[in-house]
Chains A and B, each alone.
Chain A
Amino acid sequence: MSKTLYDKIWENHLVHKQDDGTCLIYVDRHLVHEVTSPQAFEGLRLQKRKVRRPELTLAVPDHNVPTTDRSKGIDDEESRIQVETLRKNCKEFGVELFDVNDKRQGIVHIIGPEQGFTQPGTVIVCGDSHTATHGAFGSLAFGIGTSEVEHVLATQTLIQKKSKNLRINVNGDLPKGVTAKDVILKIIGTIGTAGGTGYVVEFAGDVIKNLSMEERMTVCNMTIEAGARAGLIAPDEKTFKYLEGKTMSPKGENWKKALEFWKTLYSDKDCKFDKEVNIEGKDIEPLVTWGTSPQDVSPITGVVPDPANEKNEDRKMAMERSLEYMGLKANTKISDIKIDKIFIGSCTNGRIEDLRLAADLLKGKKISSNVSAMVVPGSGLVKEQAEKEGLDKIFKDAGFEWREPGCSMCLGMNPDQLKPKERCASTSNRNFEGRQGRGGRTHLVSPGMAIAAAINGHLADVRKI
């Protein structure tokens, strides 16, 4: 019987299946950060349980870490305790940790691929919804809660039921100035934030095939914003090339064996998906969010939508609330929206290619006098590479701050937060109320669009730079 890629990975990981369809699946790789793990380790201690396979778990502090000089430690007491707790737990249970001052430290979803910890055909979990990022390698990667983190630590398995199969084909080519971020925003705008609920998504089509590995990570990263359990892309030569020689990638004879297996990871030609969605690359423009849900997208050439035109009462109410929170009037031109802050970074767009693209557009220019702007590289290694290429200099010369790696203003658990009513063009993944700071207003954009906004002081079309 022909199978989807998701079917294949699922069957490969089935440890046990109950009569009611509840399954126990094996977890190959487990990532841990400081926010969602302390209660899990505490649970193990209370029950006198051990970590079954500590070597399959990798830990890193990322959410709480300051992005300014951290040689003197963390000022905020609660943040410091959380990071110290992670350190203590890793030591006690024998889990590898990339600590704050390790140059390999970074956002958990950046370091996994960077180290080759992320591999095709595996099941990867983390107490973090953006775990979907790793699906770019053809792995089944999804976010879990803290109780499940504890379950994985104790058993190296998870209790799960199988999701349905959804394929999203992005066909043709992308117009100039349109990037992976616009592709995923378009997808979320099309199917909605609950459009993927109950499904695992496979992204396919020529646009996806032509994306680089890092761009594919941007697409998979935001699958959760469409409500899906996971998003994945069949591995190909690009995937294998990316992984070859990475620190934790298989070596020698194992590499050959792995490669042979990885080449079987695709959806069979005549397999059936429960649902398919088709999107044409040529129809995608540089996008911006105007509201407080990632599905609230508009082309940069558009206007803020008018709730008066919305027929569904609940939707209308939600739109009105969003516009009030965002301080926007219906029918305002998107490109007339003034911006105070620019944030480039996060597990969505904090990789070296994002920084290269942004720096290339910024070279020789200055940011507008009414904005303050920051770049937070996704990891210490991304930062090091960017500095080697002189990108930091381009950013700094233009007026950007160049920071230390971490989640930073994507969720503002560290001091990097928006003030009430401050408006930010952000390359992150969520524009929820209060996400980047209480009362803060977030417009999700691609790195190129963030640069366009930085130079102009208002949302602007990257194609006009």
Chain B
Amino acid sequence: MEKFKNLKSIPSYLSLQNIDTDMIIPKQFLKTIKRTGLGKSLFYEMRYDENGKVNEDFILNKEPYNKSRILLAGKNFGCGSSREHAPWALSDFGIKCVISSSFADIFYNNCFKNGILPIKIEEQTVVELSEYSKRKEEIEIDLEKQEIKYGNKVKKFEVDSFKKKCLIEGLDDIALSLEKALQIDNFEKIIKENSPWLLKND
């Protein structure tokens, strides 16, 4: 996975609550067998009309927001389906950080697997940051220090220490888990002994 680097960008702001993964990337784009190329279809039904024409009023279609690397969003962002196509589409578009007062669980986890930092922070701060979006001013994300810098202010945010490490170092968590193969082997021996019905072919 690509290492997460500190970000400086004019954020885009979508104030809508409960933005679901069907909105982030509609079903017709789930037929791909690749992880790449979904950026152009991000928020498809808001970005394009029925005939596929660009909706010039939608924020991500406008300068300078079409280059935003940070997205501010209403609460419960990413609810619905488990499709990892949602973070793939965000990342392919160029968004590497999403800030909201709350996230749906599966989406939140999926972000970290794709080099995207989801920041959960109180609603009031999201609103405060949205002013920077409106004024087209940059804000800065420092993951190492867990800080959002805007104007002359600094806001601390929480992030799980292991997830932070994986993002910063771009770690492959499958490789990390495979290092524990011996523990997994031992665990399977216990299953075999205590719950023989669970392991087939043994």
A residues adjacent to B (C-beta < 8 A) = 15-16, 18, 20, 22, 24, 26, 28, 35-36, 38-39, 42-43, 47, 49, 52-53, 55-56, 63-64, 76, 78-79, 81-82, 85, 119, 122, 127-129, 131, 142-148, 150-151, 154-157, 159, 161, 193-194, 197-198, 224, 227-229, 250, 254-255, 257-258, 261, 293, 314-315, 317-318, 321, 411-413, 420, 430, 432-435, 438-439
Contacts and interface: CB of A to CB of B under 8 A. Distances in A.
Given A55-B201, A144-B109, A194-B79, 18 more contacts: A24-B184, A26-B191, A35-B30, A36-B84, A39-B84, A49-B178, A127-B84, A148-B110, A150-B174, A154-B174, A197-B103, A227-B105, A257-B195, A257-B196, A261-B194, A432-B23, A433-B45, A434-B45
A28 B188 CA distance: 10
Nearest to A293: B18
Contacts of A119: 197-198
Contact of B50 (A63, A79, A413, A420): A420
B161 A148 contact: no
Contacts of B80: 129, 430, 432
Contacts of A433: 22-23, 45
A230 to B, nearest CB: 10
Contact of A122 (B174, B188, B198): B198
Interface stretch (B32-40, B132-140, B149-157): B32-40
Contacts of A145: 82-84, 87, 106, 109-110, 113
Interface size band for B: 35 or more
> Most chain-B Cβ atoms within 10 A of its Cβ — which of A146, A147, A411?
A147
A370 to B, nearest CB: 24
Contacts of A85: 33
B22 A258 contact: no
B83 A250 contact: no
A261 to B, nearest CB: 7
Contacts of A250: 197
Contacts of A159: 162, 173, 176-177
A225 B188 CA distance: 33
Contact of A151 (B16, B45, B102, B173): B173
A143 B82 contact: yes
Contacts of A157: 177, 180, 184
A305 B194 CA distance: 54
B27 A154 contact: no
A49 B45 CA distance: 38
Contacts of B145: none
B183 to A, nearest CB: 5
A418 to B, nearest CB: 12
B114 interface: yes
Contact of A36 (B50, B74, B82, B196): B82
A78 B180 contact: no
